[in-house]
A = this chain, B = another copy of it.
Amino acid sequence: MAAEAKGDKPILFSYWRSSCSWRVRLALALKGIEYEYRAVHLVKDGGEQLKEEFARLNPMKEVPLLLIDGKSIAQSLAIIEYLEETRPNAGARLLPEDPYLRAKARQLAQIIVSDTQPLQNLRVLNAIGAKLGDEEKTKWAKQWITLGLEGFEKEVSSVAGKYCVGDSVSIADICLVPQLYNARRFGMDVSQFPTISRIEKALSELPAFRAAHPDAQPDCPTTA
C-alpha cells in the first residue's frame, strides 16, 4: 500500500468528519498541494481504521495518514510541519516568520491538539458512553471543549489580527476551525467566544477552508 505513494500525488487517508484529518486537508489546500483522497470509515464495520490492513500503515489505528515522497507520516501536526519544511514556498506559509509568533501559533495549536480534541474524540467518547451513558458523554465532551476554548480565547486575544496570529493564516487557525465544528456537534454556542467567532468568520470566506470542510469531502454522506 505504501508503495503507491511513490506516484505523483500524495495520498491522504482521511475521514470526512475527523477533525485531525480536516487539519491536514486544510494544510494541503492552503499550500495548493493536490492529493488523492482515500476514505477510512471510522464507524462502519466497527471502524476501518482498526483493520489489519490500515493498522500496518499506522499502528495508532487512526487518521490522518499521509503517504508522500515515498514515505508515510501520521499525526496531523507532524504532517503539517513536514509540508511546511519541505514545501516552504508552495502556497501559504503555515507558521509566522518571527520565532516568538511561531511559538504562539504552535501553543494555540497544542491547546486544541493536546488539551481539547483528544478528550472528545471518537474512541474516548465511546469509552465514556459505555461507562456512563449518552447524557454524561455529551456533558464530558462539552466540559473539555469549554475549557480548551476558554483558554484559547484568552490566549489568542494577545496575538490575533484578522486571524489567530496576525493577519496570516497559521496552524492555529487550522486547528481551531475543526474544533469549533465539534463544539457545535455537542450543542455548544461558540458565540460566547468573541475573538474566536470573529476569526472563524474571516476564515470561512477563504477557498481553502471551504474545500477542506467535511461537507465537501467525497465520503460525506449525501442527505436528502
User: By DSSP majority rule, is chain A's interface helix, strand, loop, or mixed?
Assistant: helix
Which of A37-45, A71-79, A193-201, A210-218 forms part of the interface with chain B?
A71-79
Find chain B residues with CB under 8 A from A118 CB. Answer: 114-115, 118-119
- What would 9 more interface pairs be, CB under 8 Å, given A62-B115, A78-B110, A85-B99? A61-B151, A71-B100, A74-B107, A75-B111, A75-B114, A77-B106, A78-B109, A81-B102, A127-B140
Tell whether, in the assembled complex, residue B99 and residue A59 are in contact, meaning their CB atoms are under 8 Å apart. Answer: no
The count of identical subunits is 2
Q: How many residues of A contact B (CB 8 A)?
A: 45
Tell whether, in the assembled complex, residue B77 and residue A110 are in contact, meaning their CB atoms are under 8 Å apart. Answer: yes
In the complex formed, the residue of B with least CB distance to A77 is B110
A-B contact pairs, 15 of them (CB 8 A): A59-B150, A59-B151, A59-B154, A73-B103, A73-B104, A75-B107, A75-B114, A77-B114, A81-B103, A81-B106, A114-B114, A114-B117, A115-B118, A131-B132, A131-B136
- Chain A positions within 8 Å of B, measured between CB atoms, are 59-62, 69, 71, 73-79, 81-82, 85-86, 99-100, 102-104, 106-107, 109-111, 113-115, 117-119, 124, 127, 131-132, 136, 140, 143, 148, 150-151, 154-155
